[in-house]
Structure 1
Amino acid sequence: MKLSAALLLATGVAFASAQTNFTGDILKGYPVIEYLDLNDVPANTISRYWISAAEAQGGLPYFVPILVARGSEGSLETGRRLSLSASIHGDELNGIPVVQRVFAALGDVVSSGNFNGTIIGIPTTNPNGNIHNQRNFYSSSSNGFLTNLNRVFPGASIADGGSIADSYAYTIWNSVWANSSNADIAVDFHTLSTGSIGPLWAYADFRLDGVQRLAELAQPDHIKIDPGEPGSIETTWVDFGVPAITLEIGPAKNWNQTLIKRSEEFIWRLLDDLAMLPGNYTAPPETVSIGLENTYKGTNFSYVSVSQSGWVQMDVVPLQDVEEGQSVGTLFNSWGDVIENLTAPVAGRVHTVRVDAAAEQGAGVLDLLYNATST
């Protein structure tokens, strides 16, 4: 069943009641808002806004860019509401061009009056992390404090005792996504952390209706069937009854064009599945599709770590099948002596591989995806 048919009424998402609050400020030609009400966004238009999700030391705001593609006048009632977010981890960049390019390609069809639905895009959800060139949100408290924003959603306001990071997440959740009222399906784009390579893959909680189809529409190399991480964007959506996945697009800080194009292709398949595109619409060319038949689904990860600090040479690559006990890499000391032979703890498929040769004791160097059950 298409996602446009499934859950359209079952989600029961309420409409936002507050009106968009325009501060009157203009930043680089676009208005600054405090709250997004989709009813106030012009129909048949792609609009651009800024929202200040928090203030740095000295009262300098962290402005987050918001894209909104609103379809025909009646599409808030007849169409779906999709959220596309990227780079909640500041070193994870491949999702940024996916959001940007999808909105760039949607211009003509949205302005034609034939687009049935609404998309909210946040290409850089954590500009603080982008500025600092690392995954976390940096606050200046206590001589500097790092917070993983993807573990604190839906956040907490300052009035309720939240930190600046909690308040930041609270603003995104409540003032952009309107406590889930502004979206009834969501994709959060990620990559691996810096130092590893891996394929296109999805975290997906199959317990919620619609999530499995959403993950399969992505045609990823791997699907990790997973209950999710508390406080992550994906899991928060799912907790609120909104089908969502985390889509991991290869390595960090490296625009992998093949995986970016595959992710774009997924969004066009999704928009078609949600019945948001007109019947005669042709998706942009030069996208890449591999087919779901190549997707490996697993329920568990197994990890290989080094017990000593040294220099690691990995001998396997992502998507390679390995057997239990198979040699996967070697750890050397500063003299070039072999100090550890690394082997696979289970039979499975290579998921991610460390490419940073400098490995401290306890560092993970290999993730294997496997199935703990026979089904």
Structure 2
Amino acid sequence: MKPFSASLFSLIVMVVFQSNVLGQQKIVSELNNLNELSSTPFGVSHYWLNMGTNTFGQPILVPVIVVQGKEVGPTLGITAAIHGNELNGIPIIHELAASLDPSRLKGRVIAIPGINTLSVELNQRKFIDDEDINRSFPGKSNGSESEQYAHKIKERILPVFDVHLDLHTASFGRINSFYARADASNDTLLKLAELQKPDIILHSKGKPSFGTSSSATETLRAEASALGIPSITIEYGNPQVYQSDLISRGVKGIFNTLNWLKMYNEVISSEQMQPVYCKKSYWIYTNKGGFLEVPVNLNQHIKKGGVIGILKNAFGEIIDTYLAPEDGIVIGKSTNPANMSGGRILHLGILK
């Protein structure tokens, strides 16, 4: 951290915020206040959304890109990096906005390349109170830091969307295939997932898939769905990196979505094979500590009893071998060799 740079930035923000402008971008208080966006010009516009104040009373600002078409139509909302180390969605949004021709667009695209700016700056998954925003919805107006931030997303961002895509990646120490999470019992949500041309489509209603027993915690996707907004989660590979192949596939998938919504007359065909459909998934964990090897690949089909993990002690001796409990496909896997008991091995998808 550079104290001088941080202080200078705070001073700049303090000066320009008085006129509701930062640089050349207008600062808005909420996206669902249509009066603030009613003057959005045709074309591509950039805004800063005020999501609260920091310790020094300065605004916490989130970047917003609006691509406004000439004709009336739906609003496609796209959010990226609700986990601060999940970055592939950011260049997907950037490339999409640069590629769209507003004169051919009906409606508008509102994209947020870094909805959790504080954690992006800190290179960390969780919010500054060490809680997961994507397990904190619907949030509380008078709750903890993460709960208030989740509540602001619900109140200031989600209501303006007609359809929502939430862009994710794996977290530190893990890698993911390119897969979509959607409630496959809903035809609209299943279609949205298929339009992305992912390797895997996982049936999931949007609740946290692990790590919580509280029915009160919900994901951004589940909250959008509760508000009547069709929403899916798309997982694009690995954390804290840009992966050009997945970025390209991500942009193509969103163009397919726009075409299906009749917002944009262009289908970007994909050479990818048909996705594998999974009815459920779960993580498999170690039951003791050691150094882990996971000798399987992403998207690999595995059979019950196949070796999925080899655990060695500090002297290189094999102390455990983990076998697949049933047939499935590798959605994600651990890349961190150092594990205590309860370490992740792999994310196993169970085929329909």
Q: Shorter-chain TM-score: what band?
A: 0.7 to 0.9
| 1:356 counterpart = 2:340 | no
Where do 1:290-309 residues align within 5 Å?
A: 290-291=271-272, 293-309=273-289
What residue ranges of structure 2 are gaps of 5+ in the alignment? 1-16, 208-216
Does 2:24 correspond to 1:29? yes
TM-score by length of structure 1 reads 0.82
- What do you get for the CA RMSD once the two structures are aligned? 1.9
Give the conservation status (yes or no) of the 8 Å contact 1:304–1:342. no
Structure 1: give runs of 5+ residues left out of the alignment.
1-21, 139-144
The residue type paired with residue 79 of structure 2 is S
In the TM superposition, residue 209 of structure 1 has moved relative to its aligned partner by 4.3
SS at match of 2:190: helix
How many positions carry a matched residue from both structures?
324
Q: Does 1:197 align with 2:187?
A: no
| Cα offsets for 1:197-231 (capped at 9, x unmatched) | 22110110134441011011111111110121152
Q: Which residue of 1 aligns with 2:68?
A: 70
- 1:216-262 deviation per Cα after TM superposition (whole angstroms, max 9, x unaligned): 11111111101211521111111122111000001111211111111
Q: Write the distance in 2 (CA, Å) between the matches of 1:130 and 1:340.
A: 37
Is the 2:75–2:163 contact (alpha carbons within 8 Å) kept by the matching residues of 1? Answer: yes
- In structure 1, the partner of 2:314 is 334
1:323 is aligned to 2:303: yes
Contact between 1:208 and 1:243, CA under 8 Å: does it hold in 2?
no
**How many angstroms does 1:54 deviate by?**
2.3
Q: Is the CA contact (8 Å cut-off) linking 1:208 and 1:238 kept in structure 2?
A: no
Q: Secondary structure at the match of 2:50?
A: strand
Is the contact between residue 349 and residue 368 of structure 1 (CA under 8 Å) also seen in structure 2?
yes
Sequence identity percentage: 30
Tell me how far 1:147 sits from its aligned partner: 1.3
Tell me how far apart the structure 2 counterparts of residues 257 and 58 of structure 1 sit (CA, whole Å). 38
Q: Aligned match of 1:214 in 181, 192, 204?
A: 192
Counterparts of 1:53 and 1:216, CA distance in 2: 33
| Contact 1:328 1:343 (C-alpha < 8 Å) held by counterparts | yes
CA drift at 1:294: 2.6
Selected match of 1:366 from 339, 343, 346:
346
**Equivalent position SS for 1:203:** strand
CA distance in 2, matches of 1:282, 1:216: 13
State the distance in 2 between where 1:367 and 1:253 align. 20
SS at match of 2:249: helix
The alpha carbon displacement at 1:56 in A equals: 2.1
Query: Please, which moves more after superposition, 168-177 or 319-328?
Result: 168-177
What TM-score do the two structures reach when normalised by structure 2?
Answer: 0.87
